[in-house]
Amino acid sequence: MKRKFFEKTYLLTLILFLVFLNVSIVALCIFTFNSNLSATEDSCIAENYAIMQAFENDAIGLGSESGVLLQISYGDFYAEKGIYLRFEEKGQETFSSIPAGVTIPAVNTVESTKADDTYYTVITRVTKDGRYTVTYAKDISYLYSEFRGMAIAFIALSVLASLSLAILLYFILLKLYAPLSKLRAVAGNIADGDFSTRADESGGDELSVLAKDFNRMADKINMQMNELKAVATQRQRMLDDLAHEMRTPLTVIHGYAEYIAGANISREEQIDASGSIMQEAMRLKSISEILLDDAFIREGKISFERIDTGELLNGVAKRYTVQLKDKNIEIYVSPDAGGAVSGDKILLELLLSNLTDNAIKACKNGGTVELGALYEDGVSIIYVRDNGIGMTDEELKHIKEPFYRADKSRSRRNGGTGLGLSLCETIAKAHGTELSFSSKKGEGTIAYVRLGKSYKTITN
Amino acid sequence: MANILVVEDEFDINRLICKNLTLTGHKCKSAYDGIEALKIINDEKPELIILDVMLPGLTGFELIEYAGNIPVIFVTARAGLEDKLKGLKLGADDYIVKPFEMQELLARVSTVLRRVKRENTVFSFDDITIDFDKRFVCRDGVEIKLTPKEYDLLETLILNRNIALTRDRLLNLVWNIDFDGDTRTVDIHIQQLRKKLGLKNRIVSLYKIGYRFEL
């Protein structure tokens, strides 16, 4: 991978730093040299002054005849110390130890100059009596050679500093960038479909905040993926179950048709066989109808209205009264069921009918089925209770799954599709609630659903 | 010919299997769950069990442990290879997957019964005797020479007696031809059988369907 961002940051920081470092070093050199030079000139001025004083005193003391001799002795004496002098009397040079090529400056000026690769500080002054003009020149080459040495040291230092900086900066940046490249690797993994990897959130800086946000995103994506997978799995299982569920009726229909067509059988047997065919065809029809209803409720918007609970329950119970007289099963509505709930009347009727069907099927001869409602804290509970065969906890766990039958052969002989409770659950969900059961083997079952009293419209 | 126990919790399918087995001369007993089946196995010792895998009470895989040396044919809606292997490993004699055709089940029943020698290898009706082991047919004590295909056709008709077989089905069962072949082949062989064995009244032509051997 090209680390362009890393390279850019590294190069820019390095260049910036090197420029500042070297400019500072150069500035420091120049400043140091200049201050050294001016200090040297100051000391030259002081020295020159002292020499002038001594010369004036000696000249007055010795008289004018010894002028040139005095000049020579001064010149020789100071030449040994690297100081060169030039005397001028009445505009005429009388003595000079100053090397040729050094420019003589005007009176009362200080000048630094160069001649034959040697640097001098030159000062020209006039004695107090105005008789002599004295020029003073001091060799200050040492200053320049010192400067050269210093410059070389500074350049070496600069190179050393630059190199170590370049190396240090590289590793420091690399360390700083490590979380970023880790994050990038994690992002790459996720992009490749591995939703289980997570970024390192340690550090407490902006990158760790980014990592946290990133992990949150990955969690969310993972969650949604899992939800989608779960839905897909559920759909697939439903489809598998449906295919399996259709095999039995189809086997029966095909088998009996073959039987009627081929076997030498009586009229009664023909009627019996075609009865089985019709029954299985009806079952297939019910399955398809329930699946269509289910899809319709799932996708549709249901309209909530105020429903009188007593009316709703009595309406459902009434449909069964006649049919149940022969079976010696009693159905009744609890006397304190009166009240109101909010919901879709037709769907709730369908839900209650399904629950009542199940309750009746669970009942033995002489059983009772009770439809009722309870109210508490703005919530209504509508229930269907029977004192029938009941269910085990294991059976309760699966009861809402499509095509699950607690007692397969009995349910099928009663014409059950195995989809009733799955549809009930869809209706309950459309009302923003769910279907609950409480049951004990051999004692009976209560199926109930909680409903809100207030009017509202839930868009599914 | 044999006492067969049919264990299948789907009421209609159970009844259908029994009806067809009865037509071909077997005696049938139905059981709709594992417990009921176990009782019948212990009390009546059937000669063959047709066993569904998914059963209430006891599963077919559990039930086969109690079957002892009674031959078992598994019938199940599960088409998975693993189930098939498991069934056969547990000692099942054959395995058939729903939805199946009755003739297929009948053929397997007959194969299994013959393998365990519970089915009579000699079958007689009217003045005709057939030895299935020797592929030998005689009429009034006189051997009747049949071509191999004629013999196969006769055997298939007898095993599926009282059940109509289409020409296509016969082509498939006897000639192993799995397409809408020349059904005239079937007609010619039927004619030969009728003539050689005097089966004009036994082999009945069914309009638009095929043939049925009635007994």
CB burial of residue A14 (10 Å; 0-12, 13-18, 19+): middle
For chain A, report the end-to-end CA distance as a whole number of angstroms: 48
How many angstroms separate the CA of residue B123 from the nearest CA in chain A? 21
A409/B11 CB distance under 8 A: yes
Q: Is there a shared CATH topology between the B3-115 domain and the B122-213 domain?
A: no
Residues A243-286: pLDDT tens digits?
A: 877 877 888 888 888 888 887 788 898 898 898 899 888 888 88
Residues B67-123: pLDDT tens digits?
A: 888 899 988 776 667 777 787 788 888 888 877 888 888 888 988 888 876 556 788
At B65, is the pLDDT very low, low, confident or very high (cuts 50, 70, 90)? confident
B99/A276 CB distance under 8 A: no
pLDDT at A252: 86
Determine the Cα–Cα distance for residues A309 and A317; give it in Å rounded to an integer.
Answer: 12
CB-nearest partner of B12 from A244, A276, A408: A276
Mean of the pLDDT values across residues B61-65?
Answer: 87
| pLDDT exceeds 90 at position B49 | yes
Residues A385-421: pLDDT tens digits?
A: 999 888 888 888 888 887 777 665 555 666 677 788 8
| pLDDT exceeds 90 at position B5 | yes
Q: Within 10 A of A170 (CB to CB), how many other CB atoms are there? A: 13
Cα A96 to Cα A73, A201, B168, B182: the distances in Å are 11, 84, 144, 146
Please report the domains of chain A, with CATH numbers, ordered by start residue: 4-160 (3.30.450.20), 200-299 (1.10.287.130), 301-460 (3.30.565.10)
- pLDDT < 70 regions, chain A: 1-2, 64-66, 406-415, 453-460
Which chain B residue lies closest to A269 (C-alpha atoms)? B19
Q: Which CATH number is associated with domain B3-115?
A: 3.40.50.2300
Which chain A residue lies closest to B204 (C-alpha atoms)? A264
Q: Where are the domains of chain B?
A: 3-115, 122-213
- Asked if A240 reaches chain B (Cβ–Cβ under 8 Å), the answer is no
Q: Name which of A369, A372, A373, A349 is nearest A361 in CA terms.
A: A369
CATH architecture for the domain at B122-213: Orthogonal Bundle (1.10)
- Asked if A258 reaches chain B (Cβ–Cβ under 8 Å), the answer is yes
How many angstroms separate the CA of residue A264 from the nearest CA in chain B? 6
pLDDT at A111: 85
pLDDT at B120: 62
Determine the Cα–Cα distance for residues A67 and A89; give it in Å rounded to an integer.
Answer: 9
Determine the Cα–Cα distance for residues B194 and B191; give it in Å rounded to an integer.
Answer: 5
How many angstroms separate the CA of residue B143 from the nearest CA in chain A? 31
Between residues A237 and B40, the one the model is more confident about = B40
pLDDT at A407: 66
pLDDT at A7: 87
Determine the Cα–Cα distance for residues A324 and A328; give it in Å rounded to an integer.
Answer: 6
Token pair for residue A156? 């070496």
Which chain A residue lies closest to B17 (C-alpha atoms)? A255
